[in-house]
Amino acid sequence: MSELDHAASPFPTRLAIFTDFDGTLVEIAESPDDIDVPVSLAHQLERAAREFDSAFAVITGREIEDIDRYLAPLLLPVAGAHGTQRRRADGTLEPIDPAALIGSEFIAQAVAPLVMANPSLIVEAKEGAVALHFRQAPELEAECLMIMQEALQDLPDFTLVPGKMVIEARPRGVTKGTALRAFMAEEPFVGRTPIFIGDDTTDEDAFLAAQDLGGIGIKLGAGDTAARMRIADVASVHALIQGLGDIAAREREDIIHH
């Protein structure tokens, strides 16, 4: 197809939208449970999912049940715990590797004594991943890193990933990028152009995957990134999702009326 033909094409670019959660859809808070989730967010995402024929997913470090709770009653396709968990668009769950479950339980137990001794630390024991938060005790960052490294000594299939005032452990080879690729191989994502929006180091794998599949990575905020585009803040992410939904709706109307 020539450029001219493409410009005249009645078929819109079919996008698949993927977004991170913390720091991207909602502002960062002092602790994981302190986030402020506007009631309007679920409505906004439900509308976007409709405009993109359900090709709209959250890819997050949180567990799927956390996302469901914050967006209730909306149940989106979600990859949780950095891709260890995945719920497809048809609602089915991808089975979790039992070794990932056993490994993450071991890590959570190994860091428990440090957290007991320092109540300002928070550990999140997730299915297949562990987050050790030091936002309320930044002076303990080195100690947190050391105990996580020790815990992983006998778990070569796990790796550490730094996040925002948190050190996370997840299985090696399971990333937000592998989750994005898995979604893109399935309906209703297959054949679409992926856009991934995120703010954190763990989002880099998904930026690369989206771009490798012909799409765009959009990084929120400053810092080195592989993403080809940037966006300023959470409010701008909401505006972008709204705007892309408006475009998809308009293109749909145009097709119906021509």
Ligand X SMILES: O=P(O)(O)OC[C@H]1O[C@H](O[C@H]2O[C@H](CO)[C@@H](O)[C@H](O)[C@H]2O)[C@H](O)[C@@H](O)[C@@H]1O
The residues that are catalytic are 20
SS3 for 3?
helix
Residue among 237 and 248 whose Cβ is closer to ligand X: 237
Total residues found in the chain within this entry: 258
Q: Which residue is nearest to ligand X (CB)?
A: 61
Nearer to ligand X, 22 or 204 (CB): 22
To the nearest whole angstrom, how small is the minimum distance from the Cβ of residue 38 to ligand X?
A: 14
In whole angstroms, give the CA distance from residue 220 to residue 207. Answer: 12
Q: Which is nearer to ligand X, 21 or 207 (CB)?
A: 21
The DSSP bridge pattern shows strands 85-87 and 78-80 to be: antiparallel
Q: 62 or 86: whose CB is closer to ligand X? A: 62
User: In the complex, what is the shortest distance from the CB of residue 145 to ligand X, in angstroms, rounded to a whole number?
Assistant: 14
Q: Is the peptide bond before 119 cis (omega within 30 degrees of 0)?
A: no
Separation of alpha carbons 215 and 217, rounded Å: 7
Query: Residue 3 CB, nearest distance to ligand X (Å)?
Result: 38
Least Å distance, CB 114 to ligand X, is 17
- Cβ–Cβ under 8 Å, residues 6 and 42: no
Q: Distance between terminal CA atoms of the chain? A: 21
Q: Which residues bind ligand X (CB under 6 A)?
A: 20-23, 28-32, 35, 60-62, 124, 131, 133, 135, 163-166, 168, 200, 202
